[in-house]
Chain A
Amino acid sequence: MNVDTTSDPIGGGTATAVLTLEGIVVRFGGVTAVDGVSFSVAAGEVLGLIGPNGAGKTTLFDVISGVRFPSAGRVTLAGKDVTRTSPIRRARAGMRRTYQQVQTFGWLSVSDNVLAGLDWQGGGGGAIADLVAFPTRKRRERERRQRVDEVLELCGLTGVAGTPTAALPIGLARMVELARAIVDPPTLLLLDEPNSGLGEDEGRALAAQVQRIANETSCAMVLVEHDVDFIMSNCHRIVVLQTGSVLAEGTPAEIQGNAAVRNAYLGDS
């Protein structure tokens, strides 16, 4: 992906916005974790979300994905207000996410983990299909397995397709999470520290995937990362959070030059 920040037409414009946040506030008892955050992400855009520990990045992801409802504010997904819709409905509408602490389905094999990403579409016969192996169910499952195999290949997981994910090292487990999130092509993808705990090679493979998705699909992405190089080289635009509010917003170059950001987040590195 060539991040051409000068002539980049996308970003910010509400017309193409996949996700819009307006005045999001999240309070936990006395703690205000997110305090009036607004921004939007356009189709095909990669937005970096950075900020000190406890700035509210993961909480914001929870709000976007519906795991947690905000105390105030509005979440709009593809023009629809989803502030109070369940995470299940949002996922079915094309929003997928990964977790800071990897959450694969440990009982299931790698390929079943990924297959689970398509399962919401139904087994071809409702609850009855779960009990009886109808031909319709078998056919559907075959088609889905094919799609799963493609994604596994793409993510370099073909070799471990049959392994239960509980036994995987972190790098592969993160890949499984990613594969599960993209198997049903999403319109909005939220990645929470996808690079953390990965080795150099694994980090490169991950970056390649991020760039591929950005270039080949119209999926909007939000990336939370503490690896500054990773963020700077993979995002079109960056939003910096600090204690729950937006501290700065801009292109990677702008952010890197921003004194307030250096002071609050980057340090001297």
Chain B
Amino acid sequence: MTTFLSLVVSGAVSGGIYAIMASGLVLSYEASGIFNFAQGAVAFATAFLFFQLNTGQGWPIGWAALLSILVFAPVLGFLLDRILLRRLASAPVHARIVGTIGLLVALPNLVLFIAEQINLRGGDLPSSTGLGTVPGLGPVPSTTWTLMHGVVLNSDQIIIFVVAALSALGLWVLLRRTRLGLQMRADVDKRELAGLRGIDSGRVSAISWILTMLLAGLAGVMLGPFIGLDDITYTFVVLGCLAAVVFAGFRSLPFAFIGGLLLGIIQNLVAGYADNFLPSFIAGVSGLRTAVPFLLTLVGLFVLARRRGRAGGTASNEAPQPDHRDGLPKWRRWLPWIITVTALIVYVQFIADTFWSGLVLNGVVIGVVFLSFVVVTGIGGMVSLMQATFVTVGGFAAGWLVKHQYSSTTPVLMDNGHLNFFVAAILATLFAALIGALVAIPVRRLGTLAFALGTLSIAFIADLLFFQIDSIRNGSLGYLMNSPKLFGFEFTSNQSLTMMALVIFGIVTLVIHNLEVSATGRAVFAARSSDIAARTTGLSPDRAKVIVFAVSAGIAGLGGALYAVTNSPFTNTSAPAFVGLFWLAIVVTWGVRRPAGALLAGLTFSVGSAVFVKATDWNGVLKDIVGSSYFLPILFGLGAINLAKNPDGILALSAEQRADKKRKREAKKAAALAKSAAAAGTVPARVATGVRAATPGVATGAEALRLDDVRAGYGQIEVLHGIELTLGTHGALAVLGPNGAGKSTLCKAIAGQIMLSGGAVRVGDRDMSTAATHQRAQAGLLVIPESRGIFPGLTVEENLAIRLTEQSELEAAYAHFPILKERRKGAAGLLSGGEQQLLALAPALVRPPAVLIADEPTLGLSPKATEAVYETLEEVRGLGCAVLLVEERATHALNFADTVAVMSLGRITWAGTRDEVDSERLASAYLGGDIDLTEPPALEPTPPVVPLTPPDD
């Protein structure tokens, strides 16, 4: 009994730490949409500082804690938010994962690097990783109490417990009960819309990261006494608490807290009683206790996937990234390859000594491994954190096959009673692919993040349990491999091995290309955009994903076999799970969508790690810096952080610049051409075509919104060519025009979602031309974007509450739209299309802004609901709200607006009062018939303003 109780109590304490960590992770995920893999890294950095201040500099615990937890960690959070995390929030999911993994790699190394550099320059920082030498927050030495049955509790443990409970409670209140919390969740749910509703994303994101990092720092300092100061251990603890996060469904703070506690207790009990109920060969494995959280994570993920699976029908649309190679001629795509490979071959064959050619060989081999990332992440869009596991599987399989003695003597297949290496490598590839398929079948339905966590858990379980078993790893010495032979030729030199590896790399690249343009490749890309549409088109995303994952596992396995033969002996530490994270960071840095990125990443990885070995021969500062073992991880960590946003990494940067240059060149050419044409008199000088649309009230009343010569577009392409309009305080203006006229772009330009390249936007009497979206919203401008202007992940009531802060306003909204009341506790994303549109309009109708801009407000509404909306708009107008409606079709808008403007090809081509509209003119204006619009826009002189005379009343 006593054992049991002590196990539970001490388990609850480590559980308390898990609980704090888990709360921090849930907070970061809820409030910023990023799952912070670097939580442990921040915890470590803070604890390290605390240790240096307290033990090293002799500061009292209070001051040291104050500076490290309340100053250092939050400031770190603030800075990271500014330079990294905020940008990541809008990046694709895999980029978000990679970004914080980059941080996980870089930060601890940076801390240790700084300490090392200080000591190299005569500093005297104590280094301690020993248990019991690191202080916690409690008194040193800690006070101990003995409870019943002789269970002992100390002050450090009690502090942890109390802090865990308080922080979970506090965060829950923040997220669920405060406006700030609501804004945070809205911002994560749909960032563009949050801005339109006046939420300052920058502020919200900064606050959430400051809090997250503070929590991480706090947990870090409290952890010190229990685990010492080792960065890997810290990260392990954080990854361990994944189980609690998954238990909480990534969202629920109370469950994260309970889950954390349970996790600690279960882990302790397993460790304490494993001998009693597990077979000895498993119980004897040293990693068992550490593996428990990962096993639980895996179980949790499956339960979660089940629950999600039933909710089907919502598409997780992943926005595609443009490929800058599009439009390049074939030879231009091949040229870099040919040059690089030729240079490599020449270098290895004729120039390099054994040391360097060995590095190149290694780089190409690792490049083959990295090709597996191109398949799984580049094509499949899945983030696999277990590629290192497949490398080990491949290496072990090849080793096992080659080691065994067979009686057959078939010439090519066999070699001295052993299997030929190449045959073994093929079999190992197939075996790894099989394991990959077996893993993929259960995990294929997990979302991107869950998939990453699932594969990470499997990787650690494999490392901690399976690869510890002697019959699998061939003892601690691993597998010894001889040089491969083919048709009597023995690959012994680095030169011949490199050629072999290059050929294999080439074959794998071809296979990847075939896969990408195959039916399976298309199915995967289809499912990345819309899983459900893929299914109803008859495609099987599951099958496609399993194939892609298996292929990637096979490639990693092949890489493992090659690695085993070039780095014999191959052991269970040749490719540990952790290195998989580092690999991903490097590949992403170079570009995960292309084989070229894999090759370059492999070479950098291999050559880079050798540079600091070489650096020991150098002198001075360079030796200190480059020679530091921390240098390379920092470099690649930072690389991944910086480039995580771009799925094509460094390779894309150059391609992007090239594309940019080309665009500019073409623009210049066109301008020159036009000039000479004008000079030659072939193009007639044109009169202005821009028309100012103005509502009648303007002459007498105040202006609510005024646009002067507004020009805007996307990148280099100008879409709006000088829009002029004025909206009086009670005015109602309808902007009509066909698709592609630039109506939605106009809305974005007014809202501040795209910046103006010329002209001015005034709201009331304030110039808002350069103001941020949320500032314009706060100034009284409310833009309801085209279709689905709601936060799908928030409840209906929360959607309304963002604007409607008073209870009475909520009631008014429900009175207008009773259906919303019925659904108020449900997620807004589950509403029907029309209900969502009503929800988007409701806040504006109940609490009208000074200027309301609605882009196709009645899209998807039933005829009756459409009428109701227009009636309400009429009322709102009576209250002094100026309304600008954007519509595709004229029908309803014509009855409502007092002025109508027709847009075509980025200009207002006609404007007049409702009575002046005659359908024939409208139709021809739609088609741009009145005016000649055939000229290139770049030529256009600024159109002089042609104000409409207000009609006589």
Contact = CB atoms under 8 A, between A and B. Distances in A.
Co-assembled chains A and B: yes
Interface in A47-68: 51-55, 57-59, 62, 65-68
Contacts of B860: 53, 100, 193, 196, 226
Contact of A130 (B318, B519, B787, B826): B519
Interface in B311-332: 312-313, 315, 317-320, 322
B530 A132 contact: no
Interface stretch (A1-9, A37-45, A121-129, A215-223): A121-129
A68 B832 CA distance: 15
Interface string A195-229: 01111111000000000000000000000001010
Given A54-B831, A106-B320, A117-B538, A265 B511 contact: no
A180 B319 CA distance: 20
Nearest to A51: B862
B921 to A, nearest CB: 15
A193 B532 contact: no
Interface stretch (A10-18, A74-82, A107-115, A151-159): A107-115
Nearest to A50: B862
Contacts of B819: 53-54
Interface string B825-838: 01000111111011
B863 A267 contact: yes
Interface in B864-912: 864-867, 888-889
Contacts of A112: 522
Given A88-B540, A193-B860, A267-B863, A62 B518 contact: no
B536 A107 contact: no
A109 to B, nearest CB: 10
Interface string B815-831: 00001001100100011
B867 A169 contact: no
B305 interface: no
Nearest to B524: A107
Contact of A101 (B519, B787, B866, B926): B787
B738 interface: yes
Given A54-B832, A117-B538, A199-B889, A130 B865 contact: no
Contacts of A116: 522-523, 526, 534, 537, 539
A230 to B, nearest CB: 11
Interface string B288-326: 000000000000000000000000110101111010000
Given A115-B522, A171-B739, A269 B540 contact: no
Contacts of B535: 66-67, 86-88, 91
A197 B861 contact: no
Given A53-B862, A116-B537, A105 B529 contact: yes
Nearest to A33: B832
Contacts of A233: none
A166 B865 contact: no
B511 A131 contact: yes
B551 A164 contact: no
B624 interface: no
B529 A53 contact: no
A193 B865 contact: no
Query: Which residue, A104, A127, A269, has most C-beta atoms of chain B within 10 A?
Result: A127
A28 to B, nearest CB: 7
A122 B862 contact: no
Query: Which residue, A169, A197, A268, has most C-beta atoms of chain B within 10 A?
Result: A197
A132 B513 CA distance: 9
Nearest to B317: A106
Interface in B483-538: 511, 514-515, 518-523, 525-526, 528-530, 532-538
B511 to A, nearest CB: 5
B207 interface: no
B331 to A, nearest CB: 19
A164 B320 contact: yes
Contacts of A117: 537-538
Contacts of A166: 319-320, 529
A88 B533 CA distance: 10
A68 B867 contact: no
B838 A53 contact: yes
A119 B317 contact: no
A247 to B, nearest CB: 13
A99 B863 contact: no
B864 A267 contact: yes
Given A120-B538, A267-B867, A130 B547 contact: yes
A31 B796 CA distance: 15
Contacts of A28: 830
Contact of A197 (B787, B830, B835, B866): B787
Contact of A170 (B537, B739, B889): B739
A237 interface: no
A236 interface: no
B515 A200 contact: no
A84 interface: no
B522 A108 contact: yes
A103 interface: yes
B538 A193 contact: no
A171 B888 CA distance: 11
B788 interface: yes
A53 B832 contact: yes
Nearest to A137: B518
Nearest to A59: B832
A123 B312 contact: no
A160 interface: no
A68 B315 CA distance: 13
A67 B313 CA distance: 6
A52 to B, nearest CB: 5
Query: Which residue, B529, B537, B866, B926, has most C-beta atoms of chain A within 10 A?
Result: B537
A58 to B, nearest CB: 6
Given A53-B834, A91-B538, A107-B525, A269 B547 contact: no
Contact of A91 (B518, B526, B536, B833): B536
A260 to B, nearest CB: 13
A264 B867 CA distance: 13
B523 A119 contact: yes
Nearest to B786: A197
A180 B320 contact: no
A130 B521 contact: yes
Contacts of A129: 518-519
Contact of A127 (B520, B538, B837, B867): B520
B132 interface: no
Contacts of B511: 131-132
Contact of A52 (B787, B826, B865): B865
Contacts of B526: 105, 107-108, 113, 116
A197 B856 contact: yes
B252 to A, nearest CB: 18
A95 B533 CA distance: 12
Given A52-B864, A54-B835, A267-B867, A108 B537 contact: no
Nearest to A228: B863
B379 to A, nearest CB: 10
Contact of A103 (B315, B826, B856, B864): B315
A96 B738 contact: no
B519 A107 contact: no
18 contacts: A52-B865, A53-B861, A68-B312, A87-B532, A87-B536, A97-B536, A100-B860, A101-B788, A103-B317, A116-B539, A120-B540, A123-B519, A129-B518, A130-B515, A131-B515, A132-B514, A133-B514, A199-B738
Interface of A: 28-29, 31, 51-55, 57-59, 62, 65-68, 86-88, 90-92, 95-97, 99-101, 103-108, 112-113, 115-117, 119-120, 122-123, 127, 129-133, 137, 164, 166, 169-171, 180-181, 184, 193, 196-202, 226, 228, 264-269
Given A51-B862, A67-B532, 19 more contacts: A52-B834, A54-B832, A62-B313, A91-B537, A92-B538, A100-B860, A101-B787, A104-B529, A105-B533, A116-B522, A116-B539, A119-B539, A122-B519, A137-B518, A171-B739, A181-B537, A197-B859, A199-B888, A226-B861
Those 5 A-B pairs whose CB atoms lie nearest each other, nearest first: A53-B834, A120-B538, A91-B538, A267-B864, A103-B533
